[in-house]
Structure 1
Amino acid sequence: MSTTARRARWLLPFVLLALWLGIGATFGPYAGRLGEVATNDQAAFLPRSAESTEVAAQQKAFRQGGTLPAIVVWTAGGDAPVRGRRTAATAALAALDGSADVAGRVSPALLSADGRALEAVVPLRPGLGDRLPGALDRIRAAAHVPGTTVVLAGPAATQADLGDAFAGIDGLLLGVALATVLVILLLVYRSVLLPLVVILGAVFALGVACAIVYVLAQHGVVRVDGQVQGILSILVIGAATDYALLITARYREELARRADRFAAARAALKQSWGPIVASAATVALGLLALLLSDLTNNRALGPVGAVGIGCAVLTALTFLPAVLVLLGRAAYWPARPRPAEDRRDGIWQRVARLVDRSPRRVWAVALAGLLACAAFAPTLASRGVPLEEIFVNDAPSVAAQQTLGRHFPGGSGNPAVVVADAGRLDQVLAAARRTEGVAAATGVTASGRPGAAPLVVGGRAQIDVTLRSAADSDTARRTVARLRTSVHAVPGAHALVGGYTAQQYDTLRTAERDRTVIVPVVLAIIFVILTVLLRSLLMPALLVATVALNFVATLGVSALVFRNVFGFSGTDPSVPLYGFVFLVALGVDYNIFLMSRVREESLRHGVREGVLRGLVTTGGVITAAGVVLAATFAALGVIPLAFMVQIAFIVAFGVLLDTLVVRSLLVPALVRDIGARAWWPGRLSRPRGTPGHDLGERGTAVSASAPGGADPAR
């Protein structure tokens, strides 16, 4: 090769490296800026077609829609009576009327039936964002009455605590995830430079993804909350690292076979890009299926997650190969790539021999274990998380809500809202008051005083309905369902029921509908991609069935752990759907990596030998990838919210179960037992004597020197 040609082939990796360094410097800061365009106002994520959403829109005409109630509660020490302080409490809050943060009239202080507490509602303006804690501090200061203790409950206080919980999502979560991945990579590779290169590529991918999502959110294309923001960071870091592990393991194989680093990189990229792109397409399209959801945050996660996966693939197929070419064997220093025949007998050779010797026993035991775990899945309650369980740690808003609930009806200060035609207001009021579970129902008046003329806007009037049960309880949601039945039956009223409890009820119903629609779509997408990649129908069906079983088994274990270890009474309605999308799509990832290599080896050596060689050559790298992904998702647990902890456990445990049981034992043993028929109707399923027939009938069991990268650390 001429000097000019040698110089020319060095040009591309240098250009790619320089390009990515520039991209990283430009877009890297966006990884810490998504909080600027994120909102934790749960009202922004209501179901689009729900009745409660329509009520929220109509409330705007009453200048009460979108307000964020802060409930002020006064108590005296030792539950002493506070009757004599009611006038002072009302006067103290009167100073807030007309202030910049307040969206309407502050209610007078109301005395509890037991005479031991007072409450008042301060309607705050929506969208205060970072100003909300300051607004609550001003309310707390204004509400001071000598001899009493003042606490703040209600949606405003809860949203402020959510903001505190998500405050560490840009720094703490990212730092924990990257540190965890770095430690695992150092243990896996036992080299100095390669883990740093992989981490740098993941950070570049995250920076670009966050920049794209920032622009989309800034222009209102997607809504981003703390949950979506945290999942994006974890998803990009985990996926980018997984793809990097696959490429670096294949590059090490090729370096052991040939001296030319450029030829090794080309061969590694040629063999890796197909499975990586297929894997990424599976996850991205699975996430995009969330666009079929009626919940705004689910729809946001779809394109946001797909953008993250696309950026992870981009860095894995451009930045990483460029750096590997420039570093050559030095990337693995002080370890060095060694030919397959120099490797000692390892765990994956032993696993392969076990699968080859007793395939039916292996898959039967693995299947029985998964089915036993899956038997507990129906016990996982997904009816929502009560307020006292939203935060893993103690939160002031939770303690305040508990104080409120001890002295007032459970729904006090957070009523259901009924909007109806003004001409039928009395009939609707009567129907609401007759409803089981309703403590009181009062019409909203023009002056804000009880008994005054009702406020009528566009021929519609509003009723506030106080529920006997806590607004976030199952009992309250059942009361809302009965309330809707009652007021809908009033002729000509065109009554609609909304408010916080109705929003929770509609979200629960919508989440159930989403699972019914989205789960089959995701499974169909995965089946089509696997069919194209593996040129088979039976094999994709087998793989989809195994990852679906892994998901159900994970839910079963989660039900036991959540109830008996974490003390959760249930999960958020979106948790099972999120868990399904991540576990099924990511679980298929590892089966794609395994079975694409099995197919490659089967075309050379026959189906039986191909299964065993594929298991040996991918065992180490896929296990390492699974541990990395599980660890990164487990990092979500540093955010002190039940939703994050639940998603962290489901995905982390499910990925490990899939990696260590489904992909390592169940799938190889099933394919080994079924034989060439597993590839029906593809080339590998054809009978002997035709192109691509099963040479494995004459093959032998895999040896300790089977080619490939059994362990990326070696």
Structure 2
Amino acid sequence: MKEVRVHGKGVTGPVGRWVTLAVWIVAAALLSVLLPQVGKQETNNAPNLTDGRPSVQAAAVAEREFASGADVPALIVWHKKGGLEDGDLEMIRKLAGQWTSSPVPHQTSVIPLHQMPAEALKAQLSEDGSTLVTPVFFDKNADTDQLKESVAELKKQTAELTGSNPFEADPGKEGALSARVTGPVGIQIDATGLFENADFALLMGTVLLVLILLLLIYRSPILAFIPLVGVGFAYGVISPLLGWMAREGWIVVDSQGISIMTVLLFGAGTDYCLFLISRFRQLLKHETDKGKALRAALTDASGAVAMSGITVVIALLTLLLAEYGAFRRFAAPFSIAIFIMSIASLTLVPALLAVIGRASFWPFVPRTQQMREERAAKRGKPKPAPEPAPRYRTGTLVVKRPGLIALVSVVCLAVLAGVSSQIKFTYDILSSFPSTMESREGYALIGSQFSEGELAPVKVIVDTGGRETELAEKLSGLPYVSRVSEPAQGQQNKQIVAYDVELALNPYSLEALDKIPDLRETANAALAQAGDAKAADHVWVSGQTAEQYDTKETGERDTRLILPVVIGLIALLLLLYLRSVVATAYLVGTVILSYFSALGLGWLVIHYVLGADAIQGSIPLYAFVFLVALGEDYNIFMISSIWRKRKEMPLRDAIREGVGETGGVIASAGLILAGTFAVLATLPIQVLVQFGVITAIGVLLDTFLVRPFLVPAITALLGDRSFWPGKRQLTEKAKLRG
């Protein structure tokens, strides 16, 4: 194994410890004062699709040729159980006139209902006369905060005109006029609001969970705070650095990314700290000089910590290869955060331990046998018995029955991995929202009173070249289309026409997404039938459904590219670190198997326990990058111990002691990391709930099945072949024991 170690005199010495602490304190303070915090530099409406995607090209044509073709609508759903009355309709007409003559900020247009005859307006009502949908269009370049202010002004003017607030009224109450804002604008506002409201709760929940778990596991109040202090100072440096980079336009950050980064930082950061702390505690039982013990602990643990950090950073940086913006935006912030946290765990945390010393573990202070005897003598107590030698039950079991354990572990994981083939995916944004969210309530009213497709119609645009086509008839004849609008003529090119197509199903559902190629092919066929030899070049399909279809296609493309790249890079890093082709192969293989097992078990929990019909389509890639990178952390830490010990003892003894010595810290680290990701499951955002559940399950599988049983069992079965093509070099002590 190639040695990657830090020798700790510089950060743990009498002067170095205080210099290290001062550097971190000054850096965090100055950066926080001079640079903006990352939360102040969020961009929550950054485009996710590139200009080469068909829906983006179609949106550009719509923006050029049609007055409101590229504007985004807010759909106001008016509802009164028992039926809208003439007074209600007159109030809605007055609002339309007011918004036409005096638009709210960032509003581009509104349907001129005030110019419609009363009978024409009544014709727009639902069949039972209880519901009316009125769209208000906004500038597509307006950000979420601007849209939120604009919609708030709409609501304020409505309340002033009606003398009440229909946006707070219960839609189910008889005779009460209610209103809800949905459509793309309402969905965007609600989505951003969910993350904004979740940030503080997520941070507090994560900190409290880590603190409680550390107290329960180590029963030391001082020790429980040391990792949190390390993570806190690291965050104090990370946040302004990322904020500065975002302000300069080098990176883009959003609410979702910041939320997950916070969880990752506390979970992975605490793990790195525990790798060092656990080794320090072990050595304090054999070394009277705390400085020597700490330097030895830092030397022993630094290789695993550095390698673990590098593995996660490299895996996260592969997201730069993604075409989809949300994936790509994760790469730089996450990798920078882990890189800085790794540095903090190898500098700041050792400095804190050097200052506090053995008292870090109070009231259960680790001491050598000589120190225990001297302490007992001073207190007039009997000489304490030597501490019993560790029994290493798990390690002993593994080396006794490696074949059986490997077989049972592989079968269990393979069965769960097989379940992953049954997963159903969705790209439905609304399914991530709580049922009481305003935009989802409005959508539910539209779905129950009108066609669901009215929420987000698909715009089919064609360049007819002056030819007569039967496109409207062909579109209307499709079984999944409920209504096709009259053709709109292009403003610059009169030969370009557009049809708004309302689907007879949820426009955000996977079924609707699958209709986009058919709509495009229908338009192609209509143009070809009219004599257009290049029909495919003269058809554009835009709208939310088309964008989601391109999102699905882009995500699948990114997954096919990034998965093998991540596997290849991690395999290369392990090969350089372990210098063993065989060990690299089975370490990577077990983590991949664990990933698919996590997907399978996660699907069982999400589908049968939480009641979700499908999981969000972006989750498999997110989960893969995190689980493969983080899963290797524990393997690296354990294998490092086995590789180090096998130089001094027979391999099976090295496995027994390596598994035993690392078992406690990896179990506690795994519980903390899984717990931090599980905090995401408490949020009212399904995409984070599902990501949190799957990632937490994957971490637990790695912690309690793959790491303590499967990997050491395979190592025991392979014996010295595990080191191939490296050679095993035994010390004289190991030769005697062998």
Is TM > 0.5 for Structure 1 vs Structure 2?
yes
User: Structure 1: any 5+ residue segments left out of the alignment?
Assistant: 446-452, 685-690, 701-714
Q: Cα 1:391–1:361, aligned 2, differ >3 Å: closer, same or farther?
A: same
User: Structure 2: any 5+ residue segments left out of the alignment?
Assistant: 1-8, 114-120, 163-175, 370-384
Contact 1:607 1:694 in 2 (8 A): no
Counterpart amino acid of residue 368 in structure 1:
V
Q: Cα distance, 1:83 vs. partner?
A: 7.7
The question of 1:502 aligning with 2:546 is answered yes
Contact 2:215 2:221 in 1 (8 A): yes
The question of 1:234 aligning with 2:263 is answered yes
Range with greater deviation from structure 2 (29-38 or 234-243): 29-38
Match of 2:99 in 1: 96
Q: Cα distance, 1:650 vs. partner?
A: 0.7
Q: Cα 1:432–1:16, aligned 2, differ >3 Å: closer, same or farther?
A: same
Which of 397, 405, 408 lines up with 1:362 in the alignment? Answer: 405
Contact 1:50 1:506 in 2 (8 A): yes
Q: Cα distance, 1:269 vs. partner?
A: 1.7
Match of 2:59 in 1: 56
Distance in 1 separating the partners of 2:394 and 2:34: 44
Contact 2:36 2:243 in 1 (8 A): no
Which of 71, 76, 87 lines up with 1:72 in the alignment? Answer: 76
- Give the 5 Å matches for 1:311-330: 311-330=340-359
Counterpart amino acid of residue 646 in structure 2:
S
Q: Cα distance, 1:19 vs. partner?
A: 1.2
Q: Cα 1:113–1:393, aligned 2, differ >3 Å: closer, same or farther?
A: closer
Contact 1:437 1:469 in 2 (8 A): yes
Match of 1:209 in 2: 238
- How big is each residue's C-alpha offset from its partner over 1:264-321, in whole Å with a ceiling of 9 and x where there is no partner? 2222222122111111111111111111111101001111110111011011111111
Range with greater deviation from structure 2 (605-614 or 642-651): 605-614
Q: Cα 1:113–1:6, aligned 2, differ >3 Å: closer, same or farther?
A: closer
Which of 206, 213, 228 lines up with 1:184 in the alignment? Answer: 213
Match of 1:712 in 2: none
Range with greater deviation from structure 2 (94-103 or 398-407): 94-103
Secondary structure of the corresponding residue to residue 223 of structure 1: coil
Match of 1:576 in 2: 620
Which of 429, 437, 440 lines up with 1:398 in the alignment? Answer: 440
Q: Cα 1:16–1:302, aligned 2, differ >3 Å: closer, same or farther?
A: same
Distance in 1 separating the partners of 2:103 and 2:210: 49
The question of 1:123 aligning with 2:159 is answered no
- Root-mean-square deviation (Å): 2.9
Distance in 2 separating the partners of 1:466 and 1:83: 28
Contact 2:490 2:496 in 1 (8 A): no
Distance in 1 separating the partners of 2:69 and 2:241: 32
Counterpart amino acid of residue 457 in structure 2:
P
Counterpart amino acid of residue 349 in structure 1:
Y
Contact 1:676 1:694 in 2 (8 A): no
Contact 2:288 2:367 in 1 (8 A): no
Match of 1:709 in 2: none
Distance in 2 separating the partners of 1:458 and 1:259: 89
Distance in 1 separating the partners of 2:217 and 2:699: 18
- How big is each residue's C-alpha offset from its partner over 1:22-42, in whole Å with a ceiling of 9 and x where there is no partner? 22334468999433222333x
Match of 1:415 in 2: 457
Match of 1:174 in 2: 203
Q: Cα distance, 1:439 vs. partner?
A: 2.9
Q: Cα 1:342–1:668, aligned 2, differ >3 Å: closer, same or farther?
A: farther
Which of 154, 173, 187 lines up with 1:139 in the alignment? Answer: 154
Contact 1:173 1:635 in 2 (8 A): yes
Q: Cα 1:668–1:28, aligned 2, differ >3 Å: closer, same or farther?
A: farther
Distance in 1 separating the partners of 2:365 and 2:487: 77
Distance in 2 separating the partners of 1:392 and 1:92: 29
Q: Cα distance, 1:432 vs. partner?
A: 3.9
Match of 2:522 in 1: 486
Counterpart amino acid of residue 366 in structure 1:
S
- Give the 5 Å matches for 1:579-590: 579-590=623-634
- Give the 5 Å matches for 1:605-644: 605-644=649-688
Counterpart amino acid of residue 133 in structure 2:
E
- How big is each residue's C-alpha offset from its partner over 1:380-426, in whole Å with a ceiling of 9 and x where there is no partner? 11232462x21245212111101011222211142112343363586
- Give the 5 Å matches for 1:301-320: 301-320=330-349
- Give the 5 Å matches for 1:379-390: 379-385=422-428, 387=430, 389-390=431-432
Match of 1:17 in 2: 21
- Give the 5 Å matches for 1:233-312: 233-312=262-341
Q: Cα 1:438–1:318, aligned 2, differ >3 Å: closer, same or farther?
A: same
- How big is each residue's C-alpha offset from its partner over 1:450-505, in whole Å with a ceiling of 9 and x where there is no partner? xxx64336975544322222211233223222111122342355211121001111
Q: TM-score, normalised by structure 2?
A: 0.86
Q: TM-score, normalised by structure 1?
A: 0.89
Q: Cα distance, 1:142 vs. partner?
A: 4.3
Match of 2:127 in 1: 114
Counterpart amino acid of residue 459 in structure 2:
V
Q: Cα 1:353–1:441, aligned 2, differ >3 Å: closer, same or farther?
A: same
Q: Cα 1:268–1:503, aligned 2, differ >3 Å: closer, same or farther?
A: same
Q: Cα 1:6–1:395, aligned 2, differ >3 Å: closer, same or farther?
A: closer
Counterpart amino acid of residue 238 in structure 1:
G
Contact 1:31 1:207 in 2 (8 A): no
Contact 1:224 1:297 in 2 (8 A): no
Contact 2:457 2:503 in 1 (8 A): yes
Counterpart amino acid of residue 92 in structure 2:
A
Secondary structure of the corresponding residue to residue 69 of structure 1: strand
Distance in 1 separating the partners of 2:315 and 2:662: 24
Counterpart amino acid of residue 655 in structure 1:
V
Match of 2:567 in 1: 523
Counterpart amino acid of residue 394 in structure 2:
V
Contact 1:551 1:654 in 2 (8 A): yes
The question of 1:557 aligning with 2:601 is answered yes
- How big is each residue's C-alpha offset from its partner over 1:131-187, in whole Å with a ceiling of 9 and x where there is no partner? 433422332354578773222211221222223311233321111101111111122
- How big is each residue's C-alpha offset from its partner over 1:546-567, in whole Å with a ceiling of 9 and x where there is no partner? 1111111111111111111111
Distance in 2 separating the partners of 1:58 and 1:569: 36
- How big is each residue's C-alpha offset from its partner over 1:31-86, in whole Å with a ceiling of 9 and x where there is no partner? 99433222333x622355321122233344345466331101222223x3668855
Contact 1:205 1:315 in 2 (8 A): yes
Match of 1:466 in 2: 502
Distance in 2 separating the partners of 1:696 and 1:258: 22
Match of 2:492 in 1: 456
Contact 2:106 2:146 in 1 (8 A): no
Distance in 2 separating the partners of 1:8 and 1:113: 74
Contact 2:673 2:699 in 1 (8 A): yes
Which of 431, 434, 438 lines up with 2:481 in the alignment? Answer: 438
Distance in 1 separating the partners of 2:230 and 2:10: 26
The question of 1:670 aligning with 2:714 is answered yes
Counterpart amino acid of residue 293 in structure 1:
A
Match of 1:38 in 2: 42
Q: Cα distance, 1:443 vs. partner?
A: 6.0
Contact 1:77 1:149 in 2 (8 A): no
Contact 1:216 1:222 in 2 (8 A): yes
Match of 2:697 in 1: 653
Residue identity over aligned pairs, in percent, reads: 31
Distance in 1 separating the partners of 2:600 and 2:10: 58
Distance in 2 separating the partners of 1:390 and 1:483: 27
Counterpart amino acid of residue 127 in structure 1:
A
